[in-house]
Structure 1
Amino acid sequence: MIIKKILIFFLDTRAINGHSVNVLEKKDFDFRITHRFGNIATSESYRTLFGLDNSSDIRIGFEYGISDKFMLGLGRSKGASPFLEVWDALLKYQIVNKDKYIITAASSLLFTSMPSANELSSITHFDQLAHRLNYYSEIIAAFKPIKNLTIQGSIGFLHQNKVHYEDKNSHAVLGGTIRYLLFKKVSLITEYYQLLNASNYRENNFTSPFGMGIEIKTYGHVFQLNFMNSKGIVAGQFVPFTNSKWSEGEFRFGFTIARKFEL
């Protein structure tokens, strides 16, 4: 069965924030809750119990396997700065599935339903409906050099309809993920994303998202316990808008609970 091949790569359709090469099996329904807290190690973090009092972002998602190769999903996030009240939709198709490697394509759409800002120069002032949208598409490839190790890379394209006047609308994005199986149902994961053609404005105001954590498989559930510097959960937020630095203690705890049902 295809699921046996997929499970040796990742336990879930996500790594930390970004997608893994996994897709849902046909007629599988996945209910997901993802939570990101506040900064852990800044000088004032103790006042918020090291970030646990704060919610940087929260997402509830529903995803469904149309076939063993194709899935779709819909989610709603609290949203991290600058966009709030975020809705996202995704399509994901597994192009190749071999014993040693998998190639998958994923595409997502982000829409913010937040009120438009009054300030005309604000990135959240929306003159048109299209200004509320951004898009992210990527090709993801993973291979297994040894039994317990998965190495994944992705190349993506991010387009934002509304940006700061010194920024660019479109960016190429590289992503890298490493997963190592520690025990039968517990794995260590690291994840990194990098914009390739960043503007001077972006280089001066934002940084690259990096995260690490573990994924745990139980009957019917996948749990992810992570630490990352990004606040946003969906690609249209964590890829372009991460501005927290690990070196300054601006990283946070987060978790995901995913529950699959067979319909």
Structure 2
Amino acid sequence: MALLLAQTEARAQDDLLKTLEQQATDSARAEYVQATFKGTRVINGQSVETPGAGTMVFLISHRFGTLNSGAYNFFGLDQATIRLGLEYGLNDRLTVGVGRSSLEKTYDGFLKYRALRQSTGPRAVPVSVTLFASSALTSLKFTGEDRPDHSRLTYTYQALIARKFSPALSLQLMPTLVHRNFVNTRAQQNDVYALGIAGRQKLTKRVALTAEYYYLLPGNTADEFRNSLALGFDIETGGHVFQLHFTNSQGMIEKFFIPQTTGRWTKGDIYFGFNISRVFTLRSKE
């Protein structure tokens, strides 16, 4: 009887030790913050989010004409530009993407690398950081101009820094450099610097308000063009994220909406548009 009682007590102590060890392990494990934004785009620009490993995102971006184009053009609905894009997660950190825009018949490709992820627990990381680099090639025919092929290229580099402050509120900063191999005049800048800020405020379980603004740092580009401002709504519908928005930028990649925005909100130069993204799992996680 004494031996049985001793074995039972030893077993209970072992179970208690295992439970305490498991609790200590769980408490020492970092918890990553999920869904800072609901899509890989905020509105025009990139978010810190990337597709998971083996996941592909098909993105359709659409912009109608300006609202001030009048009833004859059905307030912009008779005019449209479109971009089709594919994004694929090579792993949980690295994403590759390609796209084609009707505006200037532009092809683009990019890489996104998730350098840091916001987390809680021991050694918590306060922000998420994703690095972004892209190139864009204009294939529009230039009549009467003798230009080398490399003059068609534009490059963009960004650091996307975001924090999810609560289940409802997320903010993001986007220091940006756009390098253009070709500009029309000597006064225009080949290198354009900008600072973007974006936010997402959840309104309901499936609807969120989004905003995005890019401030052009002082220079000839800032004097000639406008800062890009966009407001919109994210709507989650199953495997889709449907984004409706208004913006003074016609282009849907950095080459256009950062250094080439001409629209003025105060004059009604506002483009209504939408993004639709669909996620496909091509390779399941092992």
TM score, norm. by length of structure 1: 0.90
Give the letter for the 2:199 counterpart. Answer: I
Q: Is the 8 A contact 2:239 2:278 kept in 1?
A: yes
Q: Which of 190, 195, 206 is the matching residue for 2:211?
A: 190
Alignment match, 2:150: 130
Q: Which of 174, 180, 189 is the matching residue for 2:195?
A: 174
Alignment match, 1:121: none
Stretch of structure 1 that moved more, 207-216 or 140-149: 140-149
Distance across 2 between alignment mates of 1:150 and 1:139: 16
Give the letter for the 2:83 counterpart. Answer: R
Distance across 2 between alignment mates of 1:126 and 1:28: 42
Q: What is the CA distance between 1:15 and its match in structure 2? A: 0.3
Alignment match, 1:62: 86
Q: What SS does the aligned partner of 2:47 have?
A: coil
Alignment match, 1:122: none
Q: Where do residues 211-230 of structure 1 align in structure 2 (5 Å cutoff)?
A: 211-230=230-249
Q: Which of 4, 18, 23 is the matching residue for 2:50?
A: 23
Alignment match, 2:99: 75
Q: Is the 8 A contact 1:136 1:236 kept in 2?
A: yes
Structure 1 gap segments, 5+ residues each: 119-124
Q: What SS does the aligned partner of 1:241 have?
A: coil
Stretch of structure 1 that moved more, 45-54 or 224-233: 45-54
Q: What is the CA distance between 1:147 and its match in structure 2? A: 2.8
Give the letter for the 1:88 counterpart. Answer: D
Distance across 2 between alignment mates of 1:247 and 1:149: 28
- Give per-residue Cα distances to partners, 1:149-188, cap 9 Å, x unaligned: 1010010111001112120100211000011011112110
Q: Which of 202, 226, 245 is the matching residue for 1:207?
A: 226
Q: Which has the larger radius of gyration?
A: 2
Aligned length: 246
Q: Where do residues 1-263 of structure 1 align in structure 2 (5 Å cutoff)?
A: 5-7=33-35, 9-40=36-67, 42=68, 44-55=69-80, 57-79=81-103, 84-99=104-119, 100-118=126-144, 125=145, 127-165=147-185, 166-199=187-220, 202-263=221-282
Q: What is the CA distance between 1:235 and its match in structure 2? A: 0.5
CA RMSD of aligned residues (A): 1.6
Distance across 2 between alignment mates of 1:89 and 1:36: 20
Q: What is the CA distance between 1:61 and its match in structure 2? A: 0.5
Give the letter for the 2:107 counterpart. Answer: W
Q: Identical aligned pairs, as a percentage?
A: 35
Runs of 4+ in 1 over 2 A off after TM superposition: 2-6, 144-147, 202-205
- Give per-residue Cα distances to partners, 1:53-77, cap 9 Å, x unaligned: 111x200011100001110100000
Give the letter for the 1:136 counterpart. Answer: T
Structure 2 gap segments, 5+ residues each: 1-29, 120-125
Structure whose residues are more often helix by fraction: 2
Structure whose residues are more often strand by fraction: 1
Give the letter for the 1:52 counterpart. Answer: L
Distance across 1 between alignment mates of 2:91 and 2:165: 28
Give the letter for the 2:132 counterpart. Answer: A
Q: What is the CA distance between 1:126 and its match in structure 2? A: 5.3
Q: What SS does the aligned partner of 2:165 have?
A: strand
Q: What SS does the aligned partner of 1:117 have?
A: coil
Q: What is the CA distance between 1:252 and its match in structure 2? A: 1.3
Distance across 2 between alignment mates of 1:127 and 1:77: 21
Q: What is the CA distance between 1:46 and its match in structure 2? A: 1.6
Distance across 2 between alignment mates of 1:4 and 1:112: 39
Q: Is the 8 A contact 2:60 2:85 kept in 1?
A: yes
